[in-house]
Amino acid sequence: MLWIKALHIISLVTWFAGLFYLPRLFVYHADTRDEISHARFLVMERKLYIIMTIGAALTAIFGIWMLTAYAWTAYRDTGWLITKLVLVFGLITFHLYCWKLVREFRSGTASHSQVFYRWINEIPSLLLISIVLLAVVKPF
């Protein structure tokens, strides 16, 4: 099972690389005025979204694998596991919201300022800290 846990961690690092960098791309994209840069950002955002979605899917597969193999039986009476899963649900919601933002850029309807994209960049950081503390420290 330690192999599965290692693969879980490798996958979540891949996922978070995208969750951190995609809103950064939005910040730069929001300030872009020329067509060539706009087209380049669209390609970068789409490719990054594909990679981070693969990372998300693998994180979930290996997580659910551990859950069904031993973790649900071992930890179902604790608070940290259910809290972690609720926060993971929030993370997935943020992931899907990023797809909405990618599509807005693609259709030319993106209306947020770069300040907005800077702020949403903090959401995955807060979720990462909370989820890792819950998973490792298991405080309650």
* Contacting residues toward ligand HEM, per CB under 6 A: 5, 8-9, 12, 59-60, 63-64, 66-67, 71, 88, 91, 128, 131-132, 135-136
Q: Which is closer to ligand HEM, CB of 50 or CB of 64? A: 64
Contact 18, 49 (CB under 8 A): yes
Amino acid present at 89: F
Name the closest residue to ligand HEM (Cβ). 63
What DSSP character marks residue 78?
S
What gap in Å lies between CA 119 and CA 62, rounded to an integer? 30
- Smallest gap, in angstroms, from Cβ of residue 112 to ligand HEM? 25
- Smallest gap, in angstroms, from Cβ of residue 78 to ligand HEM? 10
What is the token pair recorded at 93? 């919601």
